[in-house]
Amino acid sequence: MKEQKMAQDNLILKIRTGSHLYGTNTEDSDDDFVGIFLEDPEYLLGLSRVDQVDLSEKSKDDSGRNTRDAKDETIYALRHFMKLAVDNNPNIVELFFANEENILFCNDVGRELLALRSAIISKNVKHRFLGFSHTQKKKMVLKMSNREAIKQAIEYLKCVEDRYDYVAEIKHHPLFSRNKKEITVADMKISAGITCKKARKQLEDRVKKFSHREGLVSKYGFDTKFGMHIIRLIQEGITLLECGHLEFPLPERHVLGRIKQGLFTLNDVLDLADGYERDIEKLYLVSKLRHSPDLDTINKFLIKTYRRTLCAYID
């Protein structure tokens, strides 16, 4: 509670992020917020440390999906935030270009922070945005593969429940990897000592929790929200390398919305991503962005800001 109060009392900037920032939100979209706060002196000079504070409020429907009443809110300590920014973390870089409509709070220090965008952005955005995109693709493909394997295992167990009482009785099957105590199905481990019916129930529960976007996978054959973010991240990297800034709401929001709505097939998304990846590699070679952030300017800002904080505390 103490750190939550510190984050709220010492707030310098708060931005609405996610679909509302991108322009892909619908009437059912939940709210995402990111803020930055100044740490109290004991966190700057003493043993106490804090990187971020979670002020989220959970609200989920029966499928596990966030309702419009849910709030995802993370408030970063300034020093930790700047480390992520210097690394050109995509979720952090975007904040420097938020449009006025989505800047919910900003004091003088917050404005000084936003003015550092040109010192923050470097050619490293290619590696970071492309890396985040690849992570989204890997999660999408892996979850699809795991989901199918688990569903096949459920159907198999339905067929053999009358023949086998316990999982341990299943000696050989390509869906099951086993040792003496456990059987592994995709990304899930099951005790070999339980009944087949109980194992099937565990697998069915896993499918329900696999993703709150299970409906998208069932309807379109892949998680279209993952697909949307794969393309969004590469497009943002391209724009930064080419123009040195981002515009919100995103100019490509209509295409991104169509991907999310399932109007693109999985192959369409992957082909689009391949083309954009070729573009970003070419742009990286000719981009006029600096090769690394301007650490001197960033350090001067941090030193000046924290000196003011400490002086105010002493006074």
- CATH no. for 2-120+291-314: 3.30.460.10
pLDDT at 40: 94
- The C-alpha angle 33, 134, 96, rounded to 5 degrees, equals 35
Residue among 58, 127, 117, 48 nearest 82 (CA)? 117
The 10s digit of each residue's pLDDT in 196-241 is 889 888 888 877 766 556 667 767 778 899 999 999 999 999 999 9
Does position 68 have pLDDT exceeding 80, yes or no? no
Domain spans, the chain:
2-120+291-314, 126-140+220-286, 143-218
- The C-alpha angle 9, 15, 16, rounded to 5 degrees, equals 125
**How high does pLDDT run on average in the chain?**
90
List residues bridging with 71 in a β-sheet. Answer: 31, 57
Please classify residue 174 by burial: count the beta carbons closer than 10 Å to its beta carbon, then call 0-12 exposed, 13-18 middle and 19+ buried.
exposed
| Length of the chain as a residue count | 315
Tell me the residue ranges of DSSP E strands in 150-296.
Answer: 177-178, 182-185, 188-191
pLDDT at 181: 82
* Mean pLDDT of all residues in 74-102: 98
Distance between CA atoms of residues 258 and 136, nearest Å: 18
Percentage of residues in the chain with pLDDT exceeding 90?
Answer: 63
More confident residue, 164 or 256: 256
The amino acid present at 19, given as its one-letter code, is S
pTM over 0.85: no
pLDDT at 94: 98
pLDDT at 60: 54
